[in-house]
Amino acid sequence: MTNPSALLPVPTHVAIIMDGNGRWAKQRGLPRIEGHRRGVESVRTVLDAARAIGIPVVTLYAFSVENWRRPEDEVGGLMDLLETFLGREKSSLLKNNVRLRAIGRIEALPSRAQAALRDTIAATAHCTAQTLVLALNYGARTEVLDAARDYAAAVVAGTASLDDTASWEGFARHLYTRDLPDPDLVIRTSGETRVSNFLLLQAAYAEFVFTPVLWPDFGRAELEAAVADYRRRERRFGQTGEQVTLSPALAPTII
């Protein structure tokens, strides 16, 4: 639904399901890993574009818990690409004042990828201009299991109380995303219109943009178009359109 009277502000948090690398390669008769390599180029372009647009938090779904089911050589290739990306990107993240974060079961990644990740996260911990969140070995259902376990352990240790779950915020403190805002906009490339176990709870009130463009072809213009589409929407958070026209709806404190 469009709201012709006012545009939404630029989203604070954009989360992207980067999909279509394999098909991009297949269309060119190339091995799938070549699509992933080109996908890394899109990551660079989109991060620069997001900074130019003024988006403070960008989350990229890079590897799902289900992606381990792919052929061993593809998984290995993806892990190698991650390590190379982190090594190469560290200096530009620092130069651009970008803090790196990771969400997912990081401890189950190959040790070299983990080391590269921890090194770049530590090196950029002081950066304040933008936050880049990589979802790695991430699954929303796994995140809920980990949060429930963390919460239970905190209750047993006496650092959390059963009353904490009287509000969503009390439980959300145990999610991987505890110190991140919820995504305002979730983009999925490649024409698939599913969520694939990505940020199911945090995207409760996100706006979705699905584009047929394959991830290696997704660049600045495509990000700008998705943000423009988002800004023309009307977010109601349960209220009526009339209420929202009078004063913009605020995200609810979800009970």
Annotated catalytic sites, by residue? 19, 67
User: Measured between alpha carbons, how far is 120 from 108 in angstroms, rounded to an integer?
Assistant: 18
Binding of residue 18 to ligand IPE (CB under 6 A): yes
61 vs 151 by CB, closer to Mg ion = 61
**Which tokens hold the place of 2?**
């469009």
Residue 210: φ, ψ to 5°: -110, 125
The binder of ligand IPE chosen from 13, 46, 47, 63 (CB under 6 A): 63
Give which of ligand IPE, Mg ion, none residue 23 binds (C-beta under 5 to 8 Å, depending on kind). Answer: ligand IPE
Do residues 23 and 214 make contact, with C-beta atoms less than 8 angstroms apart?
Answer: yes
Rounded to 5°, angle at Cα 116 from 154 and 139: 50
Binding of residue 58 to ligand IPE (CB under 6 A): no
41 vs 192 by CB, closer to ligand IPE = 192
The binder of ligand IPE chosen from 11, 13, 15, 20 (CB under 6 A): 20
Binding of residue 90 to ligand IPE (CB under 6 A): no
Q: Least distance (Å) from Mg ion to the CB of residue 22?
A: 6
Amino acid at 253: T
Stretch that binds ligand IPE, among 11-19, 175-183, 220-228, 239-247 (CB under 6 A): 11-19
Residues 4-23 that bind Mg ion (CB under 5 A): 19
Q: Least distance (Å) from ligand IPE to the CB of residue 217?
A: 12
17 vs 132 by CB, closer to Mg ion = 17
Give which of Mg ion, ligand IPE, none residue 151 binds (C-beta under 5 to 8 Å, depending on kind). Answer: none
Q: Which residue has the tokens 């921890």?
A: 118
CB atoms within 10 A of CB 253: 8
64 vs 114 by CB, closer to ligand IPE = 64
The binder of ligand IPE chosen from 3, 12, 45, 67 (CB under 6 A): 67
160 vs 222 by CB, closer to ligand IPE = 222
**Which tokens hold the place of 112?**
């070299």
Closest Cα partner for 189 from 6, 38, 28?
A: 38
Binding of residue 33 to Mg ion (CB under 5 A): no
Binding residues for ligand IPE, per CB under 6 A? 17-23, 61-64, 67, 78, 190, 192, 194, 196, 215
Residues that bind Mg ion (CB under 5 A): 19
